[in-house]
Structures are given as structure tokens and as C-alpha cells.
A = this chain, B = another copy of it.
Amino acid sequence: MRSPEDLTVAFRVAGLKVTPQRQLLFRLLHNNSSHPTADSLFNVASELMPGISLRTVYQTLTDLAEMGELQSIEVGSGSMRFDPNISDHHHAVCDNCGAVHDVYVNRAPELRGLDDFSVSDARIVYRGLCGACSVASDS
């Protein structure tokens, strides 16, 4: 995702308005690698801007995703997560603490068992234990 400053310009160019709510969300998402849900973002945003609506958070996330500024991902936690890292990467989810990490793979794995399927996207979700949680479970 681009910087809040760049997004401000990009939104105006696209005919979208730059409201205080959106600027706040730009800031909260920039360089955010926590893969937040709409709700968790709403909670943080609410402390900085009491009264902001969850609906507005959803709306802005949808707008950003449509502009290609962020990726929406599903890792089986029940709710959608948003990732401002739009480089070609995948995710590792800790079964213990639920944290979602960005991971990279050397090359896209090749398919077998399906002759004619033209792949446009491949997403990998790894599950297991993150560093902190494996240490904690050593005994």
C-alpha cells in the first residue's frame, strides 16, 4: 500500500474524497503487518476518533482493495483480514496465538492432476507454530 500522502492524491484523482476517517485509516494501515480484521481496525480507530463507524471502516477497506492498495485474505479465522503488503507472498498462521505472518516461496508450485486449468492466482496458507509459541510449548 502506498503512503497516506500518495493515497490522498490517488483518491482525489479517482474522484473519491479524502475524509478525516479515511486519512486515519490510511495511517493505521500503512506499514501495518498485523493483518488486521475490519473489527480490530475499528477498535484502534475508535480510540483515535471516537464515533467513527464500523461501516466506514468496511467501506474504506473495500475502496482500498478495489484500488489494488491492499489484499483481502482469508485464513480461516472467521473474518476477513486485510494486508497492505501487496507483493507476491503467502501467509503462515500460528495455531496457538493466531498471528499471521507474511512468507515468500521460491517459486509457484506446479499443478498435477488437472490438465487444462489456467491459473491466475495461487495462495498458500501454512499452519503450525510460530517461533514464540514453539519456544513456549517446549518443556
Which residues of A are at the interface with B, using a C-beta cutoff of 8 A? 74, 76, 89, 92, 94-95, 101-131, 134
Contact = CB atoms under 8 A, between A and B. Distances in A.
How many copies of this chain sit in the oligomeric assembly? 2
Given A105-B109, A106-B109, A106-B110, A120 B115 contact: no
B111 A126 contact: yes
Chain A at the B interface: mostly helix, strand, loop or mixed? strand
Given A74-B74, A74-B76, A76-B74, A113 B102 contact: yes
Contacts of A120: 95, 127-129
Contacts of A129: 117-118, 120
A125 B128 contact: no
